[in-house]
Amino acid sequence: MAHEQLVLPLRVISLGDAMRLKRELEVLNDYAHQTELRQSGAEPKTLPKPSSALNDLAQENSLNLLKTEDREAAIAFLGNLVESAPQVHISFASEPSSIFMAKITSWFRDRIDPILLINVGLEPSIAAGFTLRTLNHYHDFSLRQQFSDQRELLLNGIRESQATEPL
């Protein structure tokens, strides 16, 4: 199975998640390889319990982790992902929940790129909204930016109130 056809599960959001998943797969592959060597070339019957992300990866891509070629395909896919996957950095005012991030990740992968990795950051000063940083651009969709954009409107409001009621 070519790695281009693999689907990245929604649990794998950031580059760190991808690297952890890749390491887990490599450990699993080493374990399977050692088991094969001990059992004279026979594939292992069981493997250590995989993580939820690895489990999702296997399920969503119909991979059999007991098979060497599936594991290596997954490792190659993840290696390529770590090396060259497009990334964005998104910041929120508070820590997002996993469900929330799943929805955000789903939108990005549906609309922008299916293997997009999202690094999540915290920026409490933005109060509400979010900021998005790509490789070349910085998008500010925060409440702070909204206030800055509407500065003239606020100034006019204050000046009108000053005119009617001087300080």
Give the interface with other proteins as residue ranges (CB under 8 A): 84, 86, 88, 92-94, 96-97, 100, 103-104, 107-108, 111-113, 116, 124-130, 132, 134-137, 139, 141, 143-144, 147-148, 151, 154-155, 167
What residues does 32 pair with on adjacent strands? none
Residue nearer to other proteins on the CB measure, 27 or 127 = 127
3 Cβ neighbours under 8 A, 6+ residues apart:
73, 74, 76, 77, 80
Residue nearer to other proteins on the CB measure, 17 or 123 = 123
The distance of closest approach from Cβ of residue 115 to other proteins in the complex, given in angstroms and rounded to an integer, is 10
CA 64/CA 13 separation, integer angstroms: 22
Asked if 131 contacts 139 with a C-beta cutoff of 8 angstroms, the reply is: yes
Residue nearer to other proteins on the CB measure, 69 or 110 = 110
Residue nearer to other proteins on the CB measure, 31 or 100 = 100
Asked if 28 contacts 65 with a C-beta cutoff of 8 angstroms, the reply is: yes
Token pair listed for 44: 């292992």
Q: What is the DSSP letter of 89?
A: E
CA 83/CA 23 separation, integer angstroms: 14
The distance of closest approach from Cβ of residue 120 to other proteins in the complex, given in angstroms and rounded to an integer, is 11
The distance of closest approach from Cβ of residue 87 to other proteins in the complex, given in angstroms and rounded to an integer, is 8
The distance of closest approach from Cβ of residue 156 to other proteins in the complex, given in angstroms and rounded to an integer, is 11
Quickly list DSSP for 81-100.
Answer: HHHH--EEEEEESSPPPHHH
Residue nearer to other proteins on the CB measure, 71 or 109 = 109
